[in-house]
Amino acid sequence: MDCCNTGKMLPFEEAKQRLKGSIERTTKTEVLALDYCLDKVLAADAISTIQVPNYDNSAMDGYALRSQDFASTSQFHLIGKSFAGAPYSGKVESGQCVRIMTGAVIPAGADTVIMQENSSAQGDTTIGELIEFSQPAKANENIRRAGEDIRIGDVILKQGSRISPVDLGLLASIGIASVEVYQAIKVALFSSGDELRLPSETLTPGCIYESNRFVVRAMLQRLGADVVDLGIIPDDPVLLERAFTQASDTCDAVISSGGVSVGEADYTKSILDKLGQVDFWKVAMKPGKPFAFGTLNTNGPKEVCYFFGLPGNPVSATVTFHQLALPALRKLAGEIFNDEINLPLSTLDTLKKSPGRADFQRGLLTRNDKDELCVTSTGSQGSGILTSISKADCYIVLEAEENTQKKGSTVMVQPFDRWLSR
């Protein structure tokens, strides 16, 4: 099916698969210190050269001793102390114990740790003191064994992982100070339309404030992309062609908002036909039918430059970027990730729907009178009503063939991810 020439709409899932199959991951990498790696994408597996913990250690403050000694006594002579960073160097023999702190090395001979609350000792203890325990302990109790978390040779983070705050701590915990990551992709962004004005400008009759770039640029920034913001470009084919040409020579991708419909002033598709190749430009989804994807010819160092044409309506631009363009850009950036999670939940509202297009209605997670998780609509779902998505924390995903869903029906709900969440 050639959606460019026939005017037919490409099914949403097929559009996702086409995007996934068309994008080639970046190969450009750099080595960065951990301090600069938050949200970067790992370019090689991170493999541990040590075990974690790298020695048997105590899980709590207490006393280390031999568990089998409880068969004959409940009183033990204190022979020393073991602190984190200052282990006890001797060996625990029958009837002996060592005062031990959380994280300290388990002394030789000991096989269990009794928490200090189960001992007769109060306050500081002195060497030679007789410590009585109120209950026996089992072998291996309260001991964290060497390598129980990470073993030598373990892959702790795979290539393509986006590095989180916890991942930084994990890398540091095995002594890694710097890692190889993919370089940030460079993305050009602009909106087109004679009616668009910046928020700082005065509106004249027939004009509106431009908002799409602010939404898309913010998500690109969360992606870690190097954003080249070209601002607002009038509905002038010469200026639009110049923007596409200049951006394609230096950027990995170009994103435009507006100009991909069928109006007399929508020049984007014809310019793309001239400067590159349009893969598809109509998707069977609501909101966001006029979404375009293709490649641009390049005269610079870039081997390929991808193009994503977003609709002009603000909700349509947001949803199509989030659902279609963003996953493609994540792959371009080198990231390997799982598909979004959908939850089957009951709806507290009737959801109007006609068959034909996949519908991404905006919803809010809530609970019913039985304290069950469910979903409610944010209200009017027009493609120009940006408050419908500002109030939301999830999509209510209705498949193309589905009809209106009555109150109480089970629907699929997709919670907002890190790119859209507050």
Q: Please identify which residue in the block is written with the tokens 């598709």.
A: 269
2: confidence class by pLDDT, cuts 50, 70, 90: very low
- Please say whether the dihedral angle defined by the alpha carbons of residues 236, 241, 242 and 246, taken in this order, is positive or negative: positive
Q: What are phi and psi of 180, to 5 degrees?
A: -90, 125
Q: Is 140 left (phi over 0), alpha (psi -120 to 50) or beta?
A: left
Tell me the one-letter amino acid at 377.
S
The C-alpha atoms of residue 149 and residue 169 are separated, in whole angstroms, by 14
Whether the predicted pLDDT of 51 surpasses 60: yes
Q: For residue range 245-303, list pLDDT tens digits in order.
A: 999 989 999 999 987 665 544 677 788 888 999 899 899 999 999 999 999 988 766 67
Looking at per-residue pLDDT, the higher value among 128 and 298 belongs to: 128
Q: Which residues contact 337 (CB under 8 A, 6 or more apart)?
A: 160, 162, 327, 330
pLDDT > 70: what percent of the chain? 95
Q: Which run of H or of E encompasses 30? A: strand 29-33
Sign of the torsion angle spanned by Cα atoms 340, 345, 347, 348: negative
Buried b (16+ CB within 10 A) or exposed e, 262-282: eeeebbbbebbeebbebbbbb
pLDDT tens per residue, range 402-420? 999 999 999 999 999 999 9
User: pLDDT per residue over 175-218, tens digit each?
Assistant: 999 999 999 999 999 999 899 999 999 999 999 999 999 999 99
Place of tokens 């609501």: 286
Q: Model confidence at 363, in pLDDT bands (50, 70, 90)?
A: very high
- Residue pLDDT, tens place only, 317-361: 999 999 999 999 999 999 999 988 999 999 999 999 999 999 999
List pLDDT tens digits, range 292-309.
Answer: 999 998 876 667 899 999
In this prediction, residue 157 carries a pLDDT of: 98
- Distance separating alpha carbons of residues 328 and 324, to the nearest angstrom: 7
Strands 358-367 and 283-286: parallel
Q: What stretches of 50-97 show up as alpha helix (H) in DSSP?
A: none
Whether the Cβ atoms of residue 337 and residue 411 lie closer than 8 Å to each other? no
d(Cα 124, Cα 115) in Å, to the nearest integer? 15
pLDDT in tens, 81-96: 999 999 999 999 999 9
In angstroms, the Cα distances linking 316 to 5, 290, 313, 380, 385 are 23, 9, 5, 14, 10
Give every CB contact of residue 114 below 8 A, 6+ residues apart in sequence: 62, 63, 65, 133, 137, 141, 142
Average pLDDT score over the chain: 93
Distance CA 269, CA 298 (A): 17
pLDDT for 125 equals: 84
Banded model confidence at residue 133, pLDDT cuts 50, 70, 90: very high
Give one DSSP letter per residue of 317-338, joined into a string. HHHHIIIIIHHHHHHHTT---P
The pLDDT, as a whole number, for residue 269 is 77
* Model pLDDT, residue 263: 55
Cβ atoms of 328 and 252 closer than 8 Å: no
pTM of the prediction? 0.89
Separation between Cα atoms, residue 9 and residue 17, nearest integer Å:
15
Q: What is the pLDDT of residues 106-126, one digit of tens each?
A: 999 999 999 999 999 867 788
Q: Is residue 4's pLDDT more than 50?
A: no
Q: Return the structure tokens found at 226.
A: 């190097």
